[in-house]
Structure 1
Amino acid sequence: MAESFSSTISTTAAEAPFILSLDIGTSSVRALLFDRHARHIEGTLVRATYPLRTATDGTAETDADAVLNALCHCLDTLTAQHAHLLKHVAAVGACTLAATIVGLDEHQRPLTPLFIYADTRPAADVETLRQTLPEQETFQRTGCPFHTAYFPARLLWLRRTAPHLAARVRTWATIDAYLMARFFGELRVSLSNASWLGILNRHTLTWDTPLLAALDLAPHALPTLTDADNPLHGLREPWAQRWPHLRSVPWLPPIGDGAAANIGSGCTSPAHVALTVGTSSALRFMTTTPPETLPWGLWCYRVTRRHALIGGALSEGGNILDWARRTFALNSADVQSILETRPADGHGLTILPFWAGERSPGWRADARATIHGLTLAHTPADIVQAILEAIAYRWAAIFDRCAPFLAHNASVIGSGGALQHLPAWAAIAADVLERPVGLPHPIETSARGVALLALDTLGALTLDAAPPLPLARRYHPRPEQSERYRQARQRQYRLDEQLHARVV
């Protein structure tokens, strides 16, 4: 049964102080206002898009100034439409897509495109790193394996393929560091977004000296590290005149979008695990006591200096759902019906769902999808069901690695458009994970997380005492289905082991 809950509040009933929350994603920016109880103020959501360039060679990039222009459009619109509300804004917070990098010149202007985590062109450079550096030692220090999503491989790739361009770069910046430099003249990056680069020492919370030395990368070529409780003040011109109500309020250093999603979902301790399924998917939890030794297959990022974010991510999520619907000419209702009416693992297929390579837990960018056991008797419904179940098995592989650090009765909170539009997938997740899975009412989860962290920083509330996020639905594991899925997971494991000769 749905719990009584309102995730929004009218402009007349909203209680100050307000937080302006900025959510900078893969291809769009959202700006919206929240009140002191982290309720979205109705009518204040503004969105602007920017182009993402992709290509079959693995390209995934945009331009830093395109992101800046989209953000400015959102702030211009809010100023024009809601100036009376902006007067009550006590802080500006933000989250951004993580693992971004852009090369800047001596005037802090872009020389390179803004590369995002999904760009896989440095695949050969990942192998170079593995041949020249001790990956396990580096992984234990940084919490990140060698992978195309992270900066070390990106840096080697750019030096190899565009050496003259790479040599002109004076500073490497994440998108949040670049935006704050434009607004305030200071090139600073939060510990959160710095941790997603793969070069931050997770123990000392400083740039990792051995790795920087191996990369021939000087610390002054990187932004200054900062944290959420060290906001920026005093917008530069022309921004101060353009947004007068925001010129003097504190702007918190932006955090990674995954960290914000955990906070916004109420998953701020090992008692609650966030399962986010958007274009891709991730399963992660927050803790103030990260393990000294991190299990291979996970990563460890930061939310703040106090809170670590541990988990894993897949390249597959809603993107594979969209692929299946296009390929088999199905709509969302068709897929929901398939998952609701068919027996668990009733098709006999075994799938390795690596349509876009493997991230967690095996970190094999060259892995490709496999469908095993296909016969003339199988139907599109069989294949679609098997694909979505197979992705859930990969979530379980991540969950198993997280389990030693979780509360005994830890529950899972699902979010993201793919789960919200296909709740039967959440039911499968509950059966596969053998844990309850809750789905909150639809809400801008990451933006809410930004607002909660800002309110915590202001002292208006604490994350531990944040307003709960009641659930619209809760799914409990069904023993018979769970048993079938345990056997199916073993089939997937064996197939992966046979094809790749590597334990995952």
Structure 2
Amino acid sequence: MNILALDLGTSSVRGLVLDADAEPRPGALARRKVHVDIGDRGSGTLDPAQYLACLVECLDELAAAGHLRDVHLVAVSAQWHSVLPLDPAGAPLGPVLTWLDTRAMAPPGNGGPADPDAYHRRIGGWWHRGYWPLRLPWLRARCDTPIARFAGLAEYVLGQLLDTAPMSVSMASGTGLLDLRTLTWDAEACELAGVRPGELPELAPTGWSGRLRAEHARRWPQLADVAWSVPVGDGAASNVGSGCVDGRRAAVTVGTSAAVRLLHRLPAGEPLPPLPEELWRYRVDHEYVVTGAAYSSGGNLYTWAKRELRLPESRELHAALARVPLDGGAVTADPRLGGDRPPGFAPAGSGGLRGLSFSTTGVEILAGLMASLCRMVADDLTVLESTVETPMEVVLGGGAMAASAWWRSAFATALAPRPVRHRAEPEIGAIGAALVALGRVPEAGRLAMTDPLDEGHAPQRSGAAS
């Protein structure tokens, strides 16, 4: 049995075919870059039509190459927190607000939740511009056409392809509107958002699966009878794909952005454990939650510095980085070029550099930025460790980690004395979504291959490292 895994990311759309153990089939990968419109005043948006077109192109490419012939399941990893307004026919009334967009503000006179601590524990997030309770009123105030309902990017895109596309509890947990225990829309959060349940996506029940619409089944006949599973939030999927599925192992993932997360079992209906005020908590599915912290900077730091500082190409750049101390050397930085992710409120443009001299090189500036992110992650990992009783090991993952040996070593330095390993497979989100769809989350630690940071050793399974 093969699995088609889709990754609906911020910087790209990817489709890849996996085997029955969720390992990528050689050559069965299609990718399209997407353009995020980032403005000086905090905007960070995507064009929904262009995004859908990129996904369709990926499916066309895989079909033309014969990779969809033996697919029996479609799994989806999708970016959390996105939202777009729709008209009564389901057509977009504007661009998609991504997690990068920092413009939303509370409406005048709206002071937020009555008990912020209880609210945070219940929904896993905060009264913050990154969540729908602030984003929906802000969108209403700026939309010239009445808004009929709201959707996330995943629900909009899949809604164009499938017979139905309800919102998974994983995606709903990233809106800041879901009660994580009851798995229903939270009454107080909805009141703060000024939204009625009919204006929100339908929540997918346990066991839901979708099918292609007839016109798309004709376009991709190999997928005509294939079940599509509910989307999994990208952070949750990355944890599973990294093999970090219990309290012994934390995932540090660096793709476009970065995050540190811990996953554990918490079936729907069970009491929610305490949640440190610095951390968020979202749903993987009806059985598991993921707790952590996220950052607006990650691989985008590397991309920005390489472009704006005119750094050398990869091999020469890696050699130059190898000469810089792993703590970043003389340059210290604030890497928040895109502002804060929740719960912080620093606006876009908050990045900064110190320790520059006439001898400072562009490579040293890049190293200072990367090392500063390592230290931010280390601080939040300490908070995350306070929620468990056993020592942790850390698994590094994501495309940016796979691309930079220096950054991996810098993370190992910042996170010491914890054991640090690396999941070299860049498609951890898609793999994790497939394992969730298969109901094999507990097996992820055994299936995920990780490498020791000393890259002269052979890969070992992460389950064998603990």
Partner of 1:354 in structure 2? 336
1:259-306 per-residue CA deviation (whole Å, 9 max, x = no partner) reads 111111111112221111122111111111485221112111111011
In 2, the alpha carbon distance for the partners of 1:346 and 1:117 equals 28
Runs of 4+ in 1 over 6 A off after TM superposition: none
SS at match of 1:449: helix
Aligned partner of 1:176 in structure 2 is 154
Aligned sequence identity (%): 32
2:215 to 238, 243, 260: 238
- In the alignment, what sits opposite 1:454? 437
Task: Name the residue aligned to 2:249.
Answer: 272
Residue identity in the other structure for 1:454: A
Alignment CA distance shift 1:342-1:361 (3 Å) = farther
Contact 1:338 1:385 (8 Å CA) reproduced: no
Q: Unaligned stretches of 5+ in structure 2?
A: 456-466
Decide whether aligned partners of structure 1 residues 46 and 453 sit closer, same or farther in structure 2, where only a CA change above 3 A counts. same
Residues 123-272 of structure 1: pairs in structure 2 closer than 5 A: 124-125=105-106, 134-162=115-143, 164-165=144-145, 168-226=146-204, 229-233=207-211, 235-272=212-249
- CA distance in 2 between counterparts of 1:389 and 1:259 reads 25
Shift of 1:374: 4.7
Match of 1:414 in 2: 396
1:399-435 per-position Cα deviation (integer Å, ceiling 9, x unaligned)? 0111022462321111122222211222221221221
Which residue of 447, 453, 457 corresponds with 1:474?
453
8 Å Cα contact 1:19-1:454 kept in structure 2? no
CA distance, structure 1, for counterparts of residue 31 and residue 384 of structure 2: 35
Deviation at 1:325, TM superposition (A): 3.3
Q: Please name the residue that 1:47 is paired with.
A: 31
CA deviation after TM superposition for structure 1 residue 315, in Å: 0.8
Contact 2:336 2:348 in 1 (8 A): no
CA contact (8 A) 1:191 1:305 kept: yes
Structure 1 position 307 matched with structure 2 position 284: no
Distance 1:349 1:103 in 2: 43
Distance 2:58 2:64 in 1: 10
1:34 is the counterpart of 2:18: yes
Deviation, 1:153, is 1.8
Match of 1:371 in 2: 353
For the pair 1:292 / 2:276, whether they are aligned, the reply is no
* TM-score, length basis structure 2: 0.87
In structure 2, the partner of 1:62 is 46
Q: Find the counterpart in structure 1 of residue 461 from structure 2.
A: none
Secondary structure class of the residue paired with 2:213: coil
After TM superposition, give the deviation of residue 327 of structure 1 in Å: 4.5
User: Which has the larger Rg?
Assistant: 1
Spell out, residue by residue over 1:210-256, the C-alpha distance to the aligned partner (whole angstroms, 9 max, x if none): 111232211111111125632124x3221122222212221101111
Structure 2 residue corresponding to 1:463, chosen from 417, 441, 457: 441
Residue identity matched to 2:347:
A
Scaled by the length of structure 1, the TM-score of the pair is 0.81
Q: For each residue in 1:29-52, what CA deviation from the matched residue of structure 2 results, as whole angstroms up to 9, or x when unmatched?
A: 211111112221122212234443
Cα deviation for residue 118 of structure 1 reads 0.8
Please state which structure has a larger fraction of its residues in helix.
1
Corresponding residue SS for 1:61 = strand
Aligned match of 2:302: 321
Q: Deviations over 1:347-381 (max 9, x none)?
A: 45543322221225634336723434555665555
